[in-house]
Amino acid sequence: ETEDLGELLEQMAERFEMITKDRNLHFSKMIPNQPLYVDIDKDKVMQVFDNIVSNAVKYSPDGGTITIKVTPGPQTVNVETTDEGVGIPKESQPKVFDRFYRVDKARARNLGGTGLGLAIAKELIESHHGFITIDSEWQQGTTVAVTLPYSALEKEGVVE
C-alpha cells in the first residue's frame, strides 16, 4: 500500500517515548512536515524500524538521546536513527547484518534477543528496492540509515 513514511515514523517515535519513560531517553524527531509517500508492506517495514529503534534503546545509556532524522531526496527518502550508546567496533560492523550475529556474547546474553533483527531488516528493505547501512563509533554511538524509493504514484505526480 501507499503510506506516508513520515507520519508512520512520527507515531512510532511517540510510542517508544511512552514505553521507555523510565529510561529517561530523549527522542529527537527531525521529520519534515510534508507527506512522504512510499509503497510498502506497512507491517513489515515498521517491524524493521521497530527493530532499529529497539536496538538504539537497548544499547543506549539512560538519559541518552536517540535521533530519528528523515531526509527527503529527489528519488528516495532517507531515515537515519542515531544513538549515543555503546557502539560497534569497526571490524564487527559488516557482520551485524548476518543471521544470528551478535557483537559481544556476554553483553548479548544480558540484553536478550536473537541476532536476527538486522538480517531480516536487510532482506526486507532490499525487497522494497531500498538499502540499509550502519555506521558506528565504538563507545560513542551508532547510526543506522535506511533508504526507500518514493511511491510510483508520487513520482508520476498523482499523489500530491
Question: In this structure, are residues 145 and 79 in contact, taking their beta carbons and an 8 Å threshold?
Answer: yes
Beta strands at 131-137 and 26-30: parallel, antiparallel or unpaired = unpaired
5 sits near ligand ATP (criterion: CB under 6 A) = no
Nearest residue to 63 (alpha-carbon basis) of 102, 117, 27? 27
Q: Give the number of other CB atoms < 10 A from CB of residue 63.
A: 10
Angle at 86 between CA 80 and CA 89, to 5 degrees: 85
* Least distance in angstroms from the C-beta of 35 to ligand ATP: 28
Find cell 521529520 and name the residue: 31
For residues 85 to 104, the per-residue mask of contacts with ligand ATP, x marking binding by CB under 6 A and - elsewhere, is xxxx-------x----xxx-
* Cell numbers at 88, concatenated: 560497534
What is the DSSP-derived secondary structure letter of residue 57?
H
* Least distance in angstroms from the C-beta of 59 to ligand ATP: 3
81 sits near Mg ion (criterion: CB under 5 A) = no
Q: Which of ligand ATP, Mg ion, none binds 130 (CB below 5-8 Å, type-dependent)?
A: none
Rg (CA), the chain: 16
- According to CB under 6 A, which one of 55, 67, 147, 151 is a site residue for ligand ATP? 55
For residues 102 to 141, the per-residue mask of contacts with Mg ion, x marking binding by CB under 5 A and - elsewhere, is ---------------x------------------------
Nearer Cβ to ligand ATP (138/154):
138
Residues forming contacts to Mg ion in the complex (CB under 5 A) are: 51, 55, 117
Residues forming contacts to ligand ATP in the complex (CB under 6 A) are: 51, 55-56, 59, 83, 85-88, 96, 101-103, 108, 113-119, 142
